[in-house]
A and B are shown apart, each in its own frame.
Chain A
Amino acid sequence: MTLAFPFSAIVGQDTMKQALILTAIDPGLGGVLVFGDRGTGKSTAVRALAALLPPIEVVEGCPVNAARPEDCPDWAEVRSKKIVKRPTPVVDLPLGVTEDRVTGALDIERALTQGEKSFESGLLARANRGYLYIDEVNLLEDHIVDLLLDVAQSGVNAVEREGLSIRHAARFVLVGSGNPEEGELRPQLLDRFGLSVEVMSPTDIDERIEVIRRRDAFETDTDRFMTKWKRQDGKIRKAILTARDRLRDTESSDAILKDCAALSLALGTDGLRGELTLLRAARALAAYEGAPAITRAHLSKVAPLALAHRLRRDPLDEAGSVTRVTRMVADVLG
């Protein structure tokens, strides 16, 4: 594959970058949805994230990226016990993909040539312990969406078809991007994403010029450009790793828990997932900033990310959901 644009070299789009960093710190947050206009660098950012993430340790040759030999599924017939370092997987889920390719299916080649019944793993296996990226997520077909929801919920991919009965771990962070002009997203899927970001083209001329300048430098003078930004990317990577360690020790006081609840109540979000995500995202942010405990400042910073897409749609409200959340945060948290 070709080189990815360095994450730190992306101009602006701070909320998007922050959301991506937060899921890297706490994969349990449940992914990011990036919605916005064409040509705003949505895909670029997600692909850049792949290069930024710290490598993971996996058993050599294991199709589901297991960390220990005993976690490798039987069907994979992995004999090696060697642990190797691999970049965090970021798997692209192309639109119009068949169910077979997502879940895995009977290996046709082996069935035809050797008459053996064996399992050929799919994209979900490859995405285990990493990221599953869906570009134009709002155009994804229903039965694939259902399948993803099911697997994302349970963390296990179960294949019961064509005489196969296979199960393997499939824990991944969903990252979706899309353009709202091309259709809405089903509420169930919307709720599945922990955080959501709306990206817009920068309106500042200087910022836009800087985007063009860096992109051009990346394309025409790749080596020098990559060297230049490597250190910045390294810094972010280091900060993510430190934050991961710190995550458990970051305190959340009762007052903060109360704030979370009050905010979710006031906004009338469905279910408890919003509240939970709000807390976890705030904790990840606090850990990233090196703060010993979550503060209201952290909460109000991540509230639009965690709650905006969980609001009931009010077609008559012209202001976007982000505005509603920001307004409510100011009301509740003062």
Chain B
Amino acid sequence: MTRPAAATRMERALAALAVDPGGLKGMVLRARMSPVRQAFETALKHMPDAPRRIHPGISDLQLFGGLNIAASLAEGRPVRDKGLFETPGLLVLTMAERTGADLAARLAQILDADTGHALVLLDEGATAEEAPPLSLQDRLAFHIEPQDEALRTQALRLPARADLDTARKGLARIAVPDDAMGLLVALAARFGIDSLRAPLLALRTARALTALDREKSVGEAALMEAVELVYPSRATRFPAEAEDSAMDPPPDTPQPPDDATDEGSGKGAGELPDEILVQAIAALLPPDLLDRLKVARAAQARAASSGAGSKRRGNRRGRPLPSRPGRPSQQARIDPVATLRSAAPWQRLRRTPQNAHRPVIIYPSDIRLRRFEDRSDRLLIFTVDASGSSAVARLAEAKGAVELMLAQAYARRDHVALVAFRGDGAELLLPPTRSLVQAKRQLSSLPGGGGTPLAAGLVAASELAQHARGRGMSPTLVLLTDGRANIPLSGTPDRAEARQDAETIAAGLARQGIPGVLVDTANRPAENARNIAARLGADYLALPRADAHKISASVTAALEH
């Protein structure tokens, strides 16, 4: 039985990582619990550096080390815990799709320090939005997403330890033909890979693979394999598009090496036709890659942070609250002064001949923990009526309002999303974001016209709101409509049914406790919209002639009161 190509790719990636962990920095494995993942994790156990598992909730103490309070109290002298940072090795981050921006930044710092750490992200994301932060993915050499069913029964085999050791030793002496770098850079350009980390990582991969194969100089096979391992996940466009794009001229095919350089290195990598490599990478690109890329970028913009939303208790950040007794743990930070204060009255009672040498006697029951109050981020869901020809102007205003709110969003830590409804349905045009750059890109091509499926719009907004809640945000609805619904959920025009549907769903939103503002965009404000606002339990704003600034100002005012 021939081995499936995907299994070989995973094995080669792991082997390369075993040879040069500090240089390749690691890999992403995107797979839910499955035999494939099991096989991968088993293979990880055989890596030369024993893998250490970490999780997205890991504390700074575990990462960077620090005072171990419990042990210090027991021994009466400071006991420090060593952090993972201090001992280089292979870190395996489970549930990597839940990594927050702050942990990502710290892990990136560890990787950038070049201390020999490597990181394996086990990404269990189910949807395209759930993915590890791009800042981390960009630093890791490989991204593997096994889909091959044939992998089911395969065990992954790593080269023998002795072979890996030999390869490690030989790594420094691997020669790189002069044109290899040019080839790597040119290929990256054709796939729209901007980050210069990609060609660097590909080069190092080629080196590691060459060392594994006991060759002396990076040849075309190694280059090809490296490129296939490193580039596909980073591609932002298909090479065919690159040809038309005006951004950069199509790179020249590398010159065949002339005789002078050819003699020493044998068969140079430059003889490899560019096209074969391009095709090889293109074959490895998943078909929905470009769609996924967009979503992943938008998801990236949602950084967890202290916002203007509802309060929640935390123990890591935010406004301080009075301390409480408790056990120090990874998450809870100790409040030393409160702790000393609670221990102070008992000092005389606690003093015995055995502990006479200790100036302060603290029992675990004295320990007070810090508490903070954090505010979750607020998500403003702009739900815009894009129906009919008159609404097209409104749509422009709504776009402007979204951009204005975004421009001011930082101060209030708001995120913004945009849902538009028209024709016979609703569409999420802008997933929750705080990035103006993102928003501009997505808003620029926003269509308008058709019927008014208000109910569908509200359903979309409601789904988004619930999703946002699940992620710890506080959703707020900003509905811009004239309220003249004429398309019910069923999709066939029926004014009465449409109104009925809209009111039912509005009431449902109100029951979920989602606050909102309704901006009446009709030229002459009428009962329709007021009715919907009442059902929603939302503030009603009549804006006969709105403009972006007015909408933005009114929404701000309505939300602040």
Measured CB to CB, the residues of A under 8 A from B are: 1-2, 37-41, 43, 92, 94-96, 98, 106, 108-109, 111-116, 135-136, 139, 141-143, 162-163, 179-187, 201-203, 205, 208-209, 211-213, 215-216, 219-220, 313, 315-316, 318
Most chain B beta-carbon contacts within 10 A, residue among A163, A203, A212 = A212
- Within B94-115, which residues are at the interface with A (CB < 8 Å)? 101-103, 105-106, 108-109, 112-115
In angstroms, Cα B136 to Cα A312, docked, is 32
**Contacting residues, chain B, for A135 (C-beta < 8 A):** 105, 108-109
A209 touches B181 (CB 8 A): yes
Q: Sorted from nearest, which 3 A-B pairs have the closest CB atoms?
A: A39-B195, A96-B102, A315-B403
- B197: interface (CB < 8 Å): yes
B101 touches A139 (CB 8 A): yes
In angstroms, Cα B359 to Cα A142, docked, is 39
A205 touches B251 (CB 8 A): yes
**Contacting residues, chain A, for B409 (C-beta < 8 A):** 184
In angstroms, Cα B73 to Cα A180, docked, is 46
Given contacts A184-B409, A201-B195, A315-B400, whether A162 and B297 have CB atoms under 8 Å apart is no
**Contacting residues, chain B, for A181 (C-beta < 8 A):** 297, 300-301, 435, 437-438
- B337: interface (CB < 8 Å): yes
- Within B193-228, which residues are at the interface with A (CB < 8 Å)? 194-200, 203-204
Can you list 23 pairs linking A and B with CB atoms under 8 Å apart? A39-B138, A39-B195, A40-B196, A41-B196, A111-B336, A111-B360, A113-B76, A135-B105, A135-B109, A139-B105, A139-B303, A142-B305, A181-B297, A182-B101, A182-B135, A182-B300, A182-B303, A183-B303, A186-B410, A209-B182, A213-B181, A216-B176, A220-B172
Closest to B247 in A: A203
**Contacting residues, chain A, for B406 (C-beta < 8 A):** 184, 315
Q: Which of B176, B194, B196 is within 8 Å of A211, CB to CB?
A: B196
In angstroms, Cα B198 to Cα A185, docked, is 28
In angstroms, Cα B206 to Cα A212, docked, is 14
Contact code string B175-196 (vs A, CB < 8 Å = 1, else 0)? 0100001101110110000111
Q: Which of B109, B404, B435 is within 8 Å of A182, CB to CB?
A: B435
In angstroms, Cα B492 to Cα A313, docked, is 43
**Contacting residues, chain A, for B106 (C-beta < 8 A):** 94-96
**Contacting residues, chain B, for A315 (C-beta < 8 A):** 400, 403-404, 406-407, 436, 440
Q: Which of B78, B300, B306, B337 is within 8 Å of A143, CB to CB?
A: B306
Most chain A beta-carbon contacts within 10 A, residue among B77, B138, B318, B435 = B435
In angstroms, Cα B176 to Cα A215, docked, is 13
**Contacting residues, chain A, for B184 (C-beta < 8 A):** 212
Sample of 10 further A-B pairs with CB below 8 A, known A139-B101, A219-B23? A109-B78, A143-B317, A162-B337, A181-B437, A182-B135, A182-B301, A186-B410, A313-B407, A316-B400, A318-B440
A180 touches B181 (CB 8 A): no
**Contacting residues, chain A, for B248 (C-beta < 8 A):** 203, 205
**Contacting residues, chain B, for A116 (C-beta < 8 A):** 359
Q: Which of B337, B360, B410 is within 8 Å of A115, CB to CB?
A: B360
**Contacting residues, chain A, for B303 (C-beta < 8 A):** 139, 182-183
In angstroms, Cα B305 to Cα A184, docked, is 13
Closest to B248 in A: A203
Given contacts A135-B109, A216-B176, whether A208 and B440 have CB atoms under 8 Å apart is no
- B60: interface (CB < 8 Å): yes
Contact code string B231-258 (vs A, CB < 8 Å = 1, else 0)? 0000000000000000110010000000
Q: Which of B196, B297, B340 is within 8 Å of A201, CB to CB?
A: B196
**Contacting residues, chain A, for B73 (C-beta < 8 A):** 112
Q: Which of A142, A179, A219 is within 8 Å of B135, CB to CB?
A: A179
- Within B133-191, which residues are at the interface with A (CB < 8 Å)? 134-135, 138, 172, 176, 181-182, 184-186, 188-189
B336 touches A106 (CB 8 A): yes
B195 touches A205 (CB 8 A): no
Q: Which of B105, B176, B362 is within 8 Å of A96, CB to CB?
A: B105
**Contacting residues, chain B, for A219 (C-beta < 8 A):** 23, 204
A94 touches B182 (CB 8 A): no
A108 touches B410 (CB 8 A): no
Given contacts A2-B113, A113-B78, whether A212 and B435 have CB atoms under 8 Å apart is no
A113 touches B197 (CB 8 A): no
In angstroms, Cα B188 to Cα A94, docked, is 31
In angstroms, Cα B362 to Cα A181, docked, is 49
In angstroms, Cα B360 to Cα A163, docked, is 17
B72 touches A113 (CB 8 A): yes
In angstroms, Cα B60 to Cα A190, docked, is 28
Measured CB to CB, the residues of B under 8 A from A are: 23, 60, 67, 72-73, 76-78, 101-103, 105-106, 108-109, 112-115, 134-135, 138, 172, 176, 181-182, 184-186, 188-189, 194-200, 203-204, 247-248, 251, 297, 300-301, 303, 305-306, 317-319, 333-334, 336-337, 340, 359-360, 362, 400, 403-404, 406-407, 409-411, 413, 434-438, 440
B410 touches A184 (CB 8 A): yes
Closest to B108 in A: A135
**Contacting residues, chain B, for A316 (C-beta < 8 A):** 400, 403
In angstroms, Cα B400 to Cα A84, docked, is 58
Give min CB distance, A71 to chain B, whole Å.
29
Give min CB distance, B56 to chain A, whole Å.
13
**Contacting residues, chain B, for A208 (C-beta < 8 A):** 185, 188-189, 196, 199
Give min CB distance, A225 to chain B, whole Å.
14
**Contacting residues, chain B, for A41 (C-beta < 8 A):** 196
In angstroms, Cα B23 to Cα A95, docked, is 24
**Contacting residues, chain A, for B67 (C-beta < 8 A):** 108-109
In angstroms, Cα B412 to Cα A102, docked, is 24
**Contacting residues, chain B, for A114 (C-beta < 8 A):** 359
Given contacts A39-B195, A109-B78, A183-B435, whether A142 and B200 have CB atoms under 8 Å apart is no
Closest to B105 in A: A95
In angstroms, Cα B103 to Cα A39, docked, is 19
Q: Which of A113, A185, A215, A220 is within 8 Å of B77, CB to CB?
A: A113
B198 touches A39 (CB 8 A): yes
Q: Which of B186, B189, B306, B404 is within 8 Å of A141, CB to CB?
A: B306
Give min CB distance, B108 to chain A, whole Å.
8
Give min CB distance, B255 to chain A, whole Å.
13
**Contacting residues, chain B, for A139 (C-beta < 8 A):** 101-102, 105, 303, 305
**Contacting residues, chain A, for B199 (C-beta < 8 A):** 208, 212
Give min CB distance, B317 to chain A, whole Å.
6
**Contacting residues, chain B, for A216 (C-beta < 8 A):** 176, 181, 200, 203
**Contacting residues, chain A, for B436 (C-beta < 8 A):** 180, 184, 313, 315
In angstroms, Cα B413 to Cα A142, docked, is 9
A212 touches B185 (CB 8 A): yes
In angstroms, Cα B183 to Cα A213, docked, is 12
B200 touches A163 (CB 8 A): no
Give min CB distance, B311 to chain A, whole Å.
15
In angstroms, Cα B552 to Cα A316, docked, is 15
**Contacting residues, chain A, for B76 (C-beta < 8 A):** 113
**Contacting residues, chain A, for B297 (C-beta < 8 A):** 181
Closest to A37 in B: B194
In angstroms, Cα B48 to Cα A41, docked, is 31
**Contacting residues, chain B, for A215 (C-beta < 8 A):** 196, 200
B101 touches A38 (CB 8 A): no
**Contacting residues, chain B, for A202 (C-beta < 8 A):** 196
In angstroms, Cα B107 to Cα A94, docked, is 10
Closest to B306 in A: A142
Given contacts A112-B360, A142-B305, A212-B185, whether A38 and B138 have CB atoms under 8 Å apart is yes
A136 touches B410 (CB 8 A): no
**Contacting residues, chain A, for B101 (C-beta < 8 A):** 95, 136, 139, 182
Q: Which of A38, A92, A111, A203 is within 8 Å of B197, CB to CB?
A: A38
**Contacting residues, chain B, for A96 (C-beta < 8 A):** 60, 102-103, 105-106
